[in-house]
Amino acid sequence: MRTLHYILFAVFIFIFLCAAQRHESSFSKEEKMIIGTDKDSIMRVWLTTNYEDSLFLRRKAKLLSEKEIRSSCFETLKKRMLYTVNDTVQPGVGIAAPQVGISRCLIAVQRFDKPGEPFEFYINPRLVYMSERKKVGKEGCLSIPDRMGMVARSTDIVVRYVDESTLQEKQDTVSGFTAVIFQHEIDHLSGILYIDKLSN
């Protein structure tokens, strides 16, 4: 009887582990095609001037799983996003994965508040604090060509995100122009564009 219990328990653990692996998502075939394998090339920026692109940019992005973060696709996506935002034809100060056709919660932000002003990536970022004090400033967007607008943004924020090395949550307090970039890029992950927040 005890042997039967051990067998049933082992079968239960096996089924549980198989189910857990199935639920741990990975990049889709379509996403892998968009990401590609050439790490040293720019990606097509999705534009509001294209109807299908515009609908895509309005989607809510999916969280990245541990499996996806550890994948070679993720590394390629980051490198290609960095090439894209640094494209000399149309450089930017930040970029979100949905802007290059990947509806996942990943952004790159130029840290003007750090020495050397490096671009840094943030996985599954979310704002956990936004100051009531706001400042109106001019914004543009790689996905909205030939247009600028005035937007009121919080001057100070706290952003929480997943650390790529440890897969643990971290948070950072950011102020000034860099805080504006974070707000702009995190909006993209909810399908929100700066033109939705234009100041009168």
Cα separations (Å) of 103 from 13, 46, 119? 33, 11, 20
DSSP secondary structure letter of residue 39 = T
Residue 73 assigned ligand-binding role: no
DSSP class per residue in 150-185 = EEEEESEEEEEEE-TTT--EEEEEEEHHHHHHHHHH
Of 38, 20, 127, 111, the C-alpha closest to 75 is: 38
Is 141 one of the annotated binding-site residues?
Answer: yes
**Residue 87: partners with Cβ closer than 8 Å, 6 or more residues away:** 42
| Per annotation, catalytic residue among 24, 31, 52, 185 | 185
Say which residue the tokens 């990401």 belong to: 35
- Report how far residue 188's alpha carbon sits from residue 94's, in angstroms, rounded to the nearest whole number: 11
Residue 185 is a catalytic residue: yes
Helices (H), 24-146: 29-35, 51-57, 66-69, 72-85
Check the annotation: does 5 bind a ligand: no
The answer to whether 179 and 123 have CB atoms below 8 angstroms apart is no
Strand partners, 77: none
Binding-site positions = 141, 184, 188
Binding-site positions for Fe cation = 141, 184, 188
Give me the active site residues, please: 185
